[in-house]
Structure 1
Amino acid sequence: MTAHAPEPTPVVPPMPERNPKALRAAIAQHTPQLLPDFDDHWKWAVADAYDISTVPAFMARWWGEYAIARDPKLDAHMADLHHRAAEATDLAEAKALLEEASHLRYEAQRLEPGL
């Protein structure tokens, strides 16, 4: 019997500079599945609205989305928390699972560029 080498741990890409152009480039390179929603949201919330005052809220949302999606383990953990909360029959359990997901999302949004 031959031993198999363990699968290499995926490298989590660093957070980009905190601006829409850098974030879009990082999404396109590392999490392209998010790109259509990112572009649609940008068009709706900023470009078509002709309102740059919405950029901070837009960035906060997508900063967190990218921070989670770029890390396969964290992304899977978040999906598991949401799935378990949706399936929970105990309200306290569902609430605890969603609070954990909320805490992780909050922490992801606080990441600094380069981390």
Structure 2
Amino acid sequence: MRKSLIILCCQAEGLLELEFATFLTKIPHPLNNLNLFPYYGNYIKLANLEYGILNVNGVVQPKKVAFVGSSPMPLTSIIMASQHMKSTHFDNFDIDEAANDVALKIVPFDIC
């Protein structure tokens, strides 16, 4: 039962992100509206935690970061890039090509 619930939650969260990311692509300046996402505050906390872990381990301002599993709305890498690693180049990858396509409409390649 636990495994089924984990799978169901992952699918639901993936659909929520896809739906919201698609919404963002249809409004002007999608990056200015990320805070409308219901779990945005959780992503802020997650990015702070992840940056803290990197910092403690001596990874402060790397030149490049590959973010694997970035989803259609790459919030963690956006927050890391805008608040913690401003000089770092982020490459976002997801196994789902549709997720990559939607993400590129939110964060165009030339500003990553």
Per residue, is there more helix in 1 or in 2?
1
**Length-normalised TM-score, structure 1:** 0.34
Per residue, is there more strand in 1 or in 2?
2
**Length-normalised TM-score, structure 2:** 0.34
Larger RCO: 1 or 2 (CA < 8 Å, sep 6+): 1
Max Rg structure: 1
